[in-house]
């Protein structure tokens, strides 16, 4: 909805919008059924950033938490092998397989990361995680080049999954499955001539993968491995992604989700204040549906849970009223992050 009146947060409608996705997967998203955990992540995290996690009834929270734990792939009963461990993306593929095909039942890094974020947002104590197995599952997916594949069953490997692996390691407070030196080298090799960062070396710089790379460097305390020239070049490349909202690449249309991907990257580099908050805010609100709820990638197009959550997260970064603060590196609220820190303290005392 593109109108001058659409400049305020339709809070109540967005809460209802996210609650619908926790109750039913609409036919328009049926092709995403195998990655349903990510949709749940956008819905739960969206409610969290709206300060409305209490809108999820306690019995529904319990059901969601139980569902997530059912998707956890445990070590092989016969061999003890943990290389396949992680979380699957949907109940549809969470099935028992015979021995000949058992290697296809394995975790996926993006589903493991988003599953853990859901558990944190819902206040779970993570006590039912097989933390050692999850870390071994991460370790099995790092390549010689330093990047990560998404899953053992055959998948692309790129910067998105480096980020997911870093987040999992940070959340579980265990870096034994993540070779920081190799990953850092891979990230630096993926910096382009324009100082943006690509999925892989020699590919085009992209706002989403620049975020994945910078967040990984921040989580692993490796930002100082970037030279001053690289940092200043990155800042310039990111700042030039603002038109009114943000675009992901030069000469591409602006898109709501980059208000987070690019905004969070600039936040990590302590440079977000150099952007035009008002223009960004105005664009994001042009993609808001004030009747049904939700945000879309472009004005007057269909809303979806990903752009709705990332639109809200982008607005949170610039201090929008009515939204909780986002921790840019992990892409969770500060409320969920404080819960994670309390778990880390508890684990430290137990070890």
Which residue's entry shows tokens 């819902």? 122
Predicted confidence (pLDDT) per residue in 113-134, tens digit: 999 999 999 999 999 999 999 9
Instruction: Give every residue of the chain whose pLDDT is below 50, as ranges.
Output: 1-2
Domain ranges of the chain: 11-350
- Contact criterion met (CB below 8 Å) for 85 and 59: no
Q: Which of 241, 236, 239, 147 is nearest to 199 (CA)?
A: 147
Query: What pLDDT is recorded for position 103?
Result: 63
Query: What pLDDT is recorded for position 7?
Result: 83
Query: What pLDDT is recorded for position 92?
Result: 84
Instruction: Give the span between the Cα atoms of 187 and 185, in whole angstroms.
Output: 5
Query: What pLDDT is recorded for position 156?
Result: 86
Query: What pLDDT is recorded for position 351?
Result: 81
Predicted confidence (pLDDT) per residue in 145-203, tens digit: 999 999 997 788 999 999 999 999 999 999 999 999 999 999 999 999 999 999 999 99
Q: Which of 50, 56, 49, 54 is nearest to 21 (CA)?
A: 56
- Contact criterion met (CB below 8 Å) for 251 and 259: no
Q: Class of 11-350 per CATH?
A: mainly alpha
Helix and strand numbers, DSSP H then E, in the chain: 13, 6
Residue partners of 265: CB distance under 8 A and separation at least 6: 207, 210, 211, 214, 215, 234, 238
For Cα atoms 2, 250, 305, give the angle at the middle one, nearest 5 degrees.
45
């Amino acid at each position: 909805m593109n109108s001058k009146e659409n400049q305020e947060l339709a809070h109540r409608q967005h809460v209802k919008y996210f609650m619908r996705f926790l109750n039913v997967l609409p036919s328009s998203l049926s092709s995403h059924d195998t990655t349903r955990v990510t949709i749940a992540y956008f819905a739960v995290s969206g409610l969290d950033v709206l300060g409305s996690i209490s809108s999820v009834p306690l019995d529904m929270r319990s059901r969601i938490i139980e569902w997530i734990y059912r998707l956890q792939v445990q070590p092989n009963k016969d061999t003890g092998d943990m290389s396949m461990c992680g979380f699957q993306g949907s109940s549809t593929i969470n099935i028992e397989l015979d021995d000949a095909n058992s290697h296809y039942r394995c975790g996926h890094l993006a589903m493991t990361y988003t599953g853990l974020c859901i558990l944190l947002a819902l206040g779970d104590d993570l006590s039912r995680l097989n933390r050692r197995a999850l870390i071994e599952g991460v370790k099995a997916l790092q390549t010689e080049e330093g990047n990560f594949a998404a899953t053992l069953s055959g998948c692309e490997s790129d910067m998105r999954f480096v980020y997911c692996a870093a987040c999992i390691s940070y959340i579980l407070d265990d870096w034994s499955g993540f070779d920081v030196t190799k990953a850092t080298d891979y990230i630096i090799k993926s910096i382009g001539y324009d100082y943006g960062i690509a999925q892989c070396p020699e590919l085009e710089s992209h706002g989403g993968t620049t975020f994945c790379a910078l967040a990984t460097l921040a989580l692993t305390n490796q930002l100082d491995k970037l030279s001053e020239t690289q940092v200043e070049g990155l800042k310039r490349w990111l700042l030039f992604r603002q038109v009114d909202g943000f675009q992901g690449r030069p000469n591409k249309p602006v898109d709501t989700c980059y208000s987070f991907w690019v905004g969070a990257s600039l936040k990590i580099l302590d440079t977000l204040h150099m952007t035009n908050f008002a223009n960004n805010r105005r664009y994001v609100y042009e993609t808001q549906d004030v009747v049904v709820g939700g945000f879309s990638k472009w004005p007057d197009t269909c809303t979806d849970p990903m752009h709705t959550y990332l639109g809200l997260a982008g607005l949170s970064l610039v201090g929008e009223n009515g939204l909780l603060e986002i921790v840019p590196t992990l892409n969770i609220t500060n409320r969920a992050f404080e819960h994670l820190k309390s778990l880390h303290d508890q684990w430290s005392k137990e070890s």
